[in-house]
Structure 1
């Protein structure tokens, strides 16, 4: 599978039309999510910054549209193929909405340092529910193989996520440093697949249309719980797992087993 080879080599690959049959369902889910935000919902703009940058995660169990696409859609099979994994476990869902005229970019970051899971078999799908050009996802090819992970930061406060960040490298500037940035104009239902270790970000939405995106985080056979220097995001308090444990099935269900 050519896409799987690209994914494992570069840490990112474009899958045209992966969610094409589920765009309307996901749009309905995003509408419900924004009308009924969950406990992790955030507004990511400071006073005086124009537009609106909303995000929320971990809502699949209360948003039936999300659960239907996760369980019955194509993501699990695609994830197994890309990761080379027999099993696929759900980690969490994530909605990101930039209204027209939202200049604030999504900061460059890797997902892995925010999470309490480690392993080579991880994948995130980022799928726009509106046509995107300039505000598309941007990923740095090969960054999943860097010897040190990037220090996570808080998007609104712009502060370090962990007090002890000595094991992490500072956030780089891929544009200034001439890194290999992969980005594509995308249609609703297209998807970018990337590993938890792939550095990624997005420009602001300066267009006159919304940019709604649905993201899905999945893990495979080798994913294990790992302790971080502080509370993770998502926090999942009271999970009871110890380093080296597989993610608990009652919280992170297996959605495919080959």
Structure 2
């Protein structure tokens, strides 16, 4: 299991809440690009499209399409992603939570604001990992960034949509701190990336990404959300979750054993 991921990479992931994995999915890049093309041609009802200012490029996000897009399904069930996630989390079992595709077209001047993923989700637990896989070259100035160690702060910050509107008004959660205005107070991690690299991060790690100000280069990314041994279903009454998982019938606190969350390893 651990032979797929170097021990120092596992240590960095658990210490910092984020790490980089070089070239681990190079053989899957074209498959995922084909899947993204299929997805964009026929997005789901939950697609989010943020238009840049003055007709600039779009920022498109869509999720939970793995059961209808064969390229996604092929990658999820046949790549080494689950085993890499298993090694990073130290879990016996790995389940799929969902996949999330994020496309910033050339000139998409909509940044990804600093946020944690878990406050959006219908899950509790700490054995979590997202594998964010770029399908285009991503220079350091356009890459996803992370606040090292923020997954251990013991906090849930207020979730917002990527256009900065609150996902849930008056949810009682504190706002995300001003990372960009106080970068010297934090250890901010980020890496220039090539197609087939991946960054792995915990659902509680604060992260964000700048706008794509390139006039010619897009930034396509496929993100796979995986769950380990201690993750349980969380019913948040009166609270919107994203993805909504409208048809899931699990009870609060239940093991994530449902058709929507297939077992990938263990």
What is the TM-score normalised by the length of structure 1?
0.95
> How many residues matched?
255
1:6 counterpart residue number: 12
Residue 251 of structure 1 aligns to a residue whose secondary structure is coil
Residue 44 of structure 1 aligns to a residue whose secondary structure is strand
Superposition misfits of 4+ residues, deviation over 2 angstroms: 45-49
Q: CA deviation at 1:175?
A: 2.4
Q: CA deviation at 1:249?
A: 2.9
What is the TM-score normalised by the length of structure 2?
0.93
Residue 10 of structure 2 aligns to a residue whose secondary structure is helix
Residue 69 of structure 1 aligns to a residue whose secondary structure is helix
**Of residues 231, 242, 265 in structure 2, which corresponds to 1:233?**
242
Deviates more, 1:47-56 or 1:33-42: 47-56
2:167 counterpart residue number: 161
| Pairs within 5 Å for 1:59-98 | 59-98=65-104
| Pairs within 5 Å for 1:196-235 | 196-207=203-214, 208-228=216-236, 229-235=238-244
Q: CA deviation at 1:47?
A: 6.0
Question: Equivalents in 2 of 1:174, 1:163: separation in Å?
Answer: 22
What are the Cα deviations for residues 138-182 of structure 1, in whole angstroms up to 9, with x where unaligned? 1111111112211001223x222122321x221222122221111
2:40 counterpart residue number: 34
Residue 176 of structure 2 aligns to a residue whose secondary structure is coil
Stretches of structure 1 lacking an aligned partner (at least 5 in a row) = none
2:200 counterpart residue number: 193
Question: Equivalents in 2 of 1:164, 1:173: separation in Å?
Answer: 20
Q: CA deviation at 1:238?
A: 2.8
User: Do residues 244 (structure 1) and 250 (structure 2) align?
Assistant: no
Residue 176 of structure 1 aligns to a residue whose secondary structure is helix
**Of residues 130, 133, 137 in structure 2, which corresponds to 1:127?**
133
Residue 142 of structure 2 aligns to a residue whose secondary structure is coil
> What do you get for the CA RMSD once the two structures are aligned?
1.3
Residues 133 and 221, structure 2, Cα contact 8 Å, conserved in 1: yes
2:147 counterpart residue number: 140
